[in-house]
Structure 1
Amino acid sequence: MMAEPVKLRIILGSNNTEKLTIASGMPKSVEDLSDESKRQFDIQGDIRLQYMDSDFDNEFINLKRMDDIQDKSTVKVICLTDASDFGEVGMNQSGEETSLSSSDTLLLSSSDSETARSQWPAEFQIPKFPYDVEMQLQSANQAFISNGILLNPGHKLKSDILEALAEKIMTFKAYPSNLEIESVAEALIKAHPCLREQGSFSGFYGWKISLKYKMANYRTKLRNLGCPEVSINSLKHKPTDRCHPAYAVKKPRKAEVNFCPPYPAGETQDSLERERLALLTEVKKKHNEIVIKEKMARTFAYRRQELVKNNPMIADFKIRWPGLFSVAEVEAEFVRITTAPLVPRFLAQLDQYTDQLIKVFKNKGGAAGRKIRQILAPATQNETIEKRRECVLRALPLYLNEDPSILFKEYLDSDATAVQRELEQITLGIFTISVEGGDASTPPADVGITIEGVEVLHDLGDMASACAVLMGVIYALNLSYPRELKAFFEVLQKVFLHLDASRLSTKVQMLKNKLYE
């Protein structure tokens, strides 16, 4: 008996909703539904599906089981890699859908910028080598399969292989880690087993060392060509009184993909400065978001080099680039830097781990455990999802033996002058201004972010959204994490945002292990 066809309402982006009809009936797994959605709507890259959950006032929750949806259900598609034609789906602070259009990622996908990068892949794919190299390797691989004979590559053959690998690595990052270099060497001998080293325990240790030297030489070549991400670390850019190469080295530290990109083809510092000056006029106009997005995307490299090279004060930078200081542009800038979505991914992962985090936190002993249980009390009293998120985020630093009061600041709205004076003393923090006389269910009068005494953003709605946007601000302004909250921000970055998630500190790794118990 043939299955009845099913119809699903698919949200692809802001003002873009389609009907998905599957003649063979409901797919058996979430993966099958994802594949069918990608096929019918021609979506490229990885996606996540979310369904409208009636238990949480019809908010969208990650789809884990097909039992959660039925015929004519509403499913939302979130693109996790490159923004596709329909735009990256996101949520603004008021809970409405927003989209990051192709203009948001202009410098990531435009043909004018061949140097735009993407995230390091889960499995490194060995590139096609020059024709003569491929011919030699094909013959050597056949000899290895037939007779077990390993190839001892000559100097030119080895150099050609390493050069091609270095070019491929540069499409992801200029400064790969030791673990990433190792993954490339391992992928090489898997793709071409004839290159395995007979005297090496792993079979690729020599390739790993050679690849490290090749990357250093390749960076030198790019530095001479003026590649900004590597030329910024040359001696001529160091202070005259300190010329040691390791002094003031500027590298991606938080899995940034486009850390210090070159200017787009045909653009110069003068032309981009004119665009910046034009932006100062555009941001004063009402209902001008599209023009602002286009100009912000076009000036991304100019703005990014200014931040990385000059480390300006936040107050000065806000005057020069006022268009950056909105939630929509912070999210768009985060995508340009990391190619990853910000608020949707952060909140989705936080929701996924919330129940297990609460269980783990409640097992904490001592004074910290007592404080955690007090903070978590509202989360177990049928509070809203925003309150549950807030409780978990406030308890997280305590569990990690860090002080949440360094980041989270609370005030009453009764004395605005005193609050303003307090905010001017904060280096980096999220402030919540509560209504005096209100109870726990009363929404805050304001939630915002302050950096270097400057109110960067406000009216963020709730504390969890503010934490997500703060991560975007840190990336957009090239800031370091506060040392006192190093582990807390590592969890936000590596566990909730999946950026550089393979390298965890001992403390964060132990927490992550408990999330899967």
Structure 2
Amino acid sequence: MLAEDAWLYQRDFYLVDYLVVLNLPILLILSPVLQVAMLLRVILSPDNVRKISVPTPSSVEELCTCLCEKLQIEKGFTIQYEDPDFNNQLCNLHDISELPPEKATLRLHWELFLTPISVHSEIDPPADEESTLSVQPSTSATSSDSTQVASLLRSEHWPSKFPIPCFSYDVELKLQKANEEYEKNGKSLTVSRDILMEVLGKLAEAIYTFKAYPKDTDLKKVASALIEKHPCLKRPGSETGCEGWTLSLKNKMQNYRQKLRELGCAELILNRRDASKHTLKRPRRSELNFLPDIPTGFDEEALENERKWMEEEVKKKDVNMRALNTKMDFTFSLRRREVVEDQPLVSTLKQRWPALFNEEQVYAEFRRINHLDLKSTFLTSLDNNSRGLLKLFRAKVIQRGDCDLETLLDNLDEQMADLTVQRRATALRGLPFYFKEHGTICKTILSSEALEHHKVGMKMGILEVVTSNSSTSRSLSDVVNVAIVLEEEVVLENMGDFVSAFIVLFGMLYALNMEYNKDLRYTFEFIQKVFLNMGTECSKKVQTLMSKLLEN
């Protein structure tokens, strides 16, 4: 033992004796000396879950640092934890005191990358990768630039309760005094022009971080949250006191959009002031990053060069996936501009952006657009609701004798293996029948038939190739191919099973900015708003099914 360590040990030994004599709480006083370890289960990705032990952190930032050191990953992620108060549902971690004591399950979310990038890689990149990434500073794909790209993207959907921002110090002071006065005598504040401009300006900025085109119902929620936080701002002459603020916010957002449009904001330049409500190109399915701006330091020419590189790279036998994934992140703004503004055919997009027509890149693109892990969220929700859906399907067969639903359920009952996969597929296949929709998302053909003949006239859908013609006793082993068709073009094959193909198809509708099939609009709406929790306003049919699921 070193002399210094021996002295510290002896010092702590005498200190404990002294505390015992004084009858003082030892652990409380020695907490800086005796650090308590915390056991963490960290979910990096669905296939990468780690168990680590760290000293109990005093802040979220300290926890981030510990995770980076222990897991050898870079920063740039948000931390979610399983909250025991809400049946272990995931919540964003903002205060370290929210973590369960001693043991917790965390999930890390990266802004752009599907998987964390190791800081200390044991494998050096190949020579061609180094030469690919060693380009001019304006087009380099470094991790610091990746963080810059991520900072330009929205990362949160519209909150259930809108967070009112802090205003300037003088305005906050005036509101504080006015709130106290309101509590005493119920007198509202006479809002001066300075206060009005400050409040509306800060609220417009905060609203834009979630949506460029908020609905009237959204603005009403903002006004309600403002009145709740600052009751002195209630405007007389209305029942709730927030109607006037709602109208003011609507006008302010129009002016704010015009200001950003003049400054060159891509999402707003797309639409002119005289564009009608129905011709506006804007998010209609809760997309977060509908049309992002080109990252600072880049231009269209530089991004087009990256696109050409990717177009050639995917033709190689050994594709440099690391560089390809990074360049897909950096060219996101260019790709979205083509997809949204030009609305090209799927065949044209497949030729210009071949890397996009890959299962993993579909998930990555969906995350870039919606900041959501499509596959894991979809499957988790499907598993949580499949039993309830099947129960409702059986009840409907008994009540109304739906033959299509009955055939699906009979086929499920006959399966002896792969029950989880079959249950998922049956729940998905049954939704159109439950909603009485006339569209068909999946078409089954025999392996002796050619795909080319069946994709004709198919705008979107799934082709399931089987060896047996029997639909009542078919199992997974009978399926030899599952292909996705968009605009009569087979865009992906060998998807494994119907559920996997359906998830990728749903992701591609967002990646390619394609409308839902009108004959299946309730099915897609249910998946978007119930399974993926994207959007709050539901049609009556979807709301009814959602209510029945909650009752079961």
Category of TM-score, reference length = shorter chain: 0.7 to 0.9
Cα distance, 1:368 vs structure 2: 6.3
Counterpart selection for 1:411 from 445, 451, 459: 445
Local SS of the residue matching 2:462: strand
Q: For residue 441 of structure 2, what is the amino acid of its counterpart?
A: L
Local SS of the residue matching 1:266: coil
Deviations 1:144-198 (A, max 9, x none): 2333321020122112110110011111110012221111111111111111223
Distance 1:107 1:437 in 2: 55
1:147 maps to which residue?
185
Cα distance, 1:512 vs structure 2: 0.3
The answer (yes or no) to whether the contact 1:48–1:79 under 8 Å persists in 2 is no
The answer (yes or no) to whether the contact 2:261–2:268 under 8 Å persists in 1 is yes
Q: Which moved more, 1:137-146 or 1:112-121?
A: 112-121
Q: For residue 487 of structure 2, what is the amino acid of its counterpart?
A: E
**RMSD of aligned alpha carbons:** 3.6
Distance 1:254 1:14 in 2: 26
Q: For residue 276 of structure 1, what is the amino acid of its counterpart?
A: R
Mapped pair 1:165 → 2:197: no
Mapped pair 1:207 → 2:245: yes
Mapped pair 1:271 → 2:299: no
Question: How does 1:378-393 map onto structure 2 within 5 Å?
Answer: 378-380=411-413, 381-384=415-418, 385-393=420-428
Structure 2: unaligned runs, 5 residues or longer: 1-36, 57-62, 69-76, 90-103, 118-139
Distance 1:105 1:382 in 2: 50
Distance 1:251 1:105 in 2: 31
Local SS of the residue matching 1:425: coil
Local SS of the residue matching 1:364: helix
Distance 1:79 1:494 in 2: 23
Question: How does 1:191-340 map onto structure 2 within 5 Å?
Answer: 191-234=229-272, 245-246=276-277, 248-285=279-316, 286-340=318-372
Q: For residue 215 of structure 1, what is the amino acid of its counterpart?
A: M
Return closer, same or farther for 1:395/1:79 CA change in 2, 3 Å cut-off: farther
Return closer, same or farther for 1:353/1:214 CA change in 2, 3 Å cut-off: same
Distance 1:310 1:354 in 2: 39
Distance 1:454 1:161 in 2: 51
2:124 maps to which residue?
none
Counterpart selection for 2:404 from 371, 378, 383: 371
Cα distance, 1:295 vs structure 2: 0.5
Q: How many residues align?
A: 461
Cα distance, 1:141 vs structure 2: 1.7
Distance 2:114 2:379 in 1: 24
Counterpart selection for 2:546 from 475, 497, 512: 512
2:153 maps to which residue?
116
1:31 maps to which residue?
none
The answer (yes or no) to whether the contact 1:115–1:171 under 8 Å persists in 2 is no
Q: For residue 327 of structure 2, what is the amino acid of its counterpart?
A: K
Local SS of the residue matching 1:516: helix
The answer (yes or no) to whether the contact 1:258–1:336 under 8 Å persists in 2 is yes
Return closer, same or farther for 1:40/1:198 CA change in 2, 3 Å cut-off: farther
Distance 1:104 1:508 in 2: 43
Distance 1:403 1:193 in 2: 51
TM-score (norm 2): 0.76
Cα distance, 1:275 vs structure 2: 1.1
1:44 maps to which residue?
78
Return closer, same or farther for 1:340/1:185 CA change in 2, 3 Å cut-off: same
The answer (yes or no) to whether the contact 1:400–1:487 under 8 Å persists in 2 is yes
Deviations 1:403-432 (A, max 9, x none): 35x21111111122xx31211331100111
Cα distance, 1:221 vs structure 2: 1.1
Cα distance, 1:9 vs structure 2: 5.9
Distance 2:339 2:144 in 1: 17
Cα distance, 1:128 vs structure 2: 1.4
Instruction: Answer 1 or 2: higher relative contact order, Cα 8 Å, separation at least 6.
Output: 1
Q: Which moved more, 1:406-415 or 1:351-360?
A: 406-415
Q: For residue 299 of structure 2, what is the amino acid of its counterpart?
A: T
Deviations 1:370-413 (A, max 9, x none): 22021012333554211111111111100001135x21111111
1:477 maps to which residue?
512
Return closer, same or farther for 1:248/1:479 CA change in 2, 3 Å cut-off: same
Distance 1:466 1:232 in 2: 32
Q: Which moved more, 1:253-262 or 1:275-284?
A: 275-284
1:492 maps to which residue?
527
Cα distance, 1:436 vs structure 2: 4.0
Distance 2:115 2:278 in 1: 44
Distance 1:140 1:39 in 2: 42
Return closer, same or farther for 1:448/1:156 CA change in 2, 3 Å cut-off: same
Q: Which moved more, 1:189-198 or 1:345-354?
A: 189-198
Distance 2:550 2:302 in 1: 52
Return closer, same or farther for 1:211/1:461 CA change in 2, 3 Å cut-off: same
Distance 2:457 2:143 in 1: 37
Return closer, same or farther for 1:320/1:48 CA change in 2, 3 Å cut-off: farther
Distance 2:50 2:185 in 1: 56
Distance 1:495 1:431 in 2: 26
Cα distance, 1:272 vs structure 2: 1.1
Distance 1:199 1:487 in 2: 40
Local SS of the residue matching 1:151: coil
The answer (yes or no) to whether the contact 2:153–2:289 under 8 Å persists in 1 is yes
1:189 maps to which residue?
227
The answer (yes or no) to whether the contact 1:144–1:193 under 8 Å persists in 2 is yes
Distance 1:465 1:195 in 2: 51
2:74 maps to which residue?
none
Distance 1:349 1:246 in 2: 33
Q: For residue 248 of structure 1, what is the amino acid of its counterpart?
A: T
Structure whose alpha-carbon radius of gyration is higher: 2
The answer (yes or no) to whether the contact 1:435–1:445 under 8 Å persists in 2 is yes
2:394 maps to which residue?
362
The answer (yes or no) to whether the contact 2:38–2:54 under 8 Å persists in 1 is yes
Q: Which moved more, 1:338-347 or 1:136-145?
A: 136-145
Local SS of the residue matching 1:44: strand
Return closer, same or farther for 1:455/1:104 CA change in 2, 3 Å cut-off: farther
Return closer, same or farther for 1:245/1:396 CA change in 2, 3 Å cut-off: closer
The answer (yes or no) to whether the contact 2:288–2:371 under 8 Å persists in 1 is yes
